[in-house]
Chains A and B, each alone.
Chain A
């Protein structure tokens, strides 16, 4: 190894000494110039520094730094490092494509090989949003690095699925919409959730998960209380009462006895006609017959039908109010806030 090689190794391991006030963008610019000057070891150190997470490079600049870093590592004869840089690039921006006019085929070929092997998803996400439940409020555009299976889910804090938004292959691009509802159609209650984008391997196992904290606040309109069931006073008796039959029986028997015996009081010394007993018995029998006609306790079909109509009307009112309330719930205002995304990689990927 020459002194330049040792120097380059030192720069690569330790990085170049940071000049006071030098920014990540300046590291990137210096690294690109070093690359163009074929000072690959120096370029690698500068670009590595530029892509360090703490440097806070802008997204487009980060992608540029990573592609130059990968190309640099190829020319340094470090294909593994090159693939690692390109892997970072693909995960960082799955839609990124290397410009073939800028980089030679030996660079683009390695990149494409890496891209095809890394399953990553690019997502466009708003920071916050408010929409009516039932309307397509949250719109997620997904872009894959390569065709692969994915799941998009809203998870509760305990990890259970509150709503599955998509499960299937992600090819060129995919738009997923969420209308604010949980599985089953009810609005997702207020709370904290996680919007999870899971890339799957060929066997369907989770390979990589992008987790985005999701805070949901549901604002319901005023609902109407359910109507009270019909009061007893509003319902007709469904069984014949005992009172009228008993009263009719007593009245009939009393009048019958009076017809039979009363004339004897009026004309006590006279031998009266026995037909009065016939008439009296007729009246008493008529009173007795009321027990069989009125039949205390018998179901009164007309009243039962009328009461059923009253109850049916009440149930219809309850259903109508429930539907109105459900519509209010479904039209509730859903406010969401999305947090910073976290990426969870399966070990070994």
Chain B
């Protein structure tokens, strides 16, 4: 996803927690990213940073969230550097105050010199939220599976799943919150010959009305 697209979407940016908390707002993100590509021959680990945003809008028990990150990862010893961008759009339904189910596309691209890898997954997500301190601190845990995928690499999409968890803290009485989360995702390609693991540690600060 290009920077232009990101800017177009920036007008509707919210917190990923909106699916469980019905918030409207926007949050800027800074993330540490690490990708591990494991094949039968070798493991290639790239790490770097990314910036982006997330946001959403909720209406009743339904919510729509959008998340976008772009940055670069590198492996200095191997002399490899890739730009990357990724985003997901999820439509959530919240049958309970503490639980939400969602589904939507998740795209990712890696740009190296002369080539671009594009990944597209359709994912089903489940999220649970626990209020630790009322209207102040929430913890949440989210898991997902990719039900289908399209990857423009020689190995076909096989399976994908991921987990994410973290903490959201409201800052005083202001409509400002800080979110810290860790997410890990595993995509299997081919007949298990290649496994792509992506980890994010993200810190987000934004405004929103809980």
Contacts and interface: CB of A to CB of B under 8 A. Distances in A.
B125 interface: no
A252 B169 CA distance: 13
Interface string B114-144: 0000000000000000111110010111010
A279 B195 CA distance: 24
Contacts of A276: 182, 184, 199, 201
A309 to B, nearest CB: 23
Contact of A270 (B134, B186, B201): B186
A283 B34 contact: no
Contact of B38 (A269, A273, A293): A269
Nearest to B140: A255
- Interface of A, helix, strand, loop or mixed by DSSP: helix
A145 to B, nearest CB: 88
B197 A267 contact: yes
B105 interface: no
Nearest to B182: A279
B165 A280 contact: yes
Interface in A244-272: 244, 247-248, 251-252, 254-256, 258-259, 262-263, 265-267, 269-272
A252 B180 contact: no
A287 interface: yes
Contacts of A20: none
A273 B34 contact: yes
A248 B130 contact: yes
B165 A279 contact: yes
A282 interface: yes
Interface residues of A, number: 33
Contacts of B185: 266-267
B197 A259 contact: no
Given A259-B182, A263-B184, A267-B186, A272 B197 contact: yes
A161 interface: no
Contacts of B130: 247-248, 251-252, 254-255
B181 interface: yes
Given A266-B162, A279-B181, A258 B141 contact: yes
A248 B132 contact: yes
B166 interface: yes
Contacts of A98: none
Given A269-B195, A293-B133, A283 B165 contact: yes
B36 interface: yes
A349 interface: no
B162 A259 contact: no
A322 interface: no
B184 A272 contact: yes
A203 interface: no
Contacts of B161: 266
B49 to A, nearest CB: 13
B141 A255 contact: yes
A231 B141 CA distance: 41
B186 A282 contact: no
A338 B192 CA distance: 117
A281 to B, nearest CB: 10
B165 A255 contact: yes
Given A279-B181, A280-B182, A259 B141 contact: yes
Identify which of A252, A266, A293 gathers the most chain B CB atoms within 10 Å of its CB.
Answer: A266
A36 B133 CA distance: 116
B132 A275 contact: no
A29 interface: no
B184 A266 contact: yes
B163 interface: yes
Interface string B136-165: 010111010000000000000000011101
Given A255-B130, A272-B184, A287-B139, 8 more contacts: A247-B130, A252-B139, A255-B139, A255-B165, A258-B165, A262-B143, A267-B186, A278-B201
10 contacts: A259-B165, A259-B166, A266-B161, A266-B185, A267-B36, A270-B186, A272-B184, A275-B199, A282-B180, A283-B166
Interface of B: 32, 34, 36, 38, 130-134, 137, 139-141, 143, 161-163, 165-167, 169, 180-182, 184-186, 195, 197, 199, 201
Interface of A: 244, 247-248, 251-252, 254-256, 258-259, 262-263, 265-267, 269-273, 275-276, 278-280, 282-283, 286-287, 289-290, 293-294
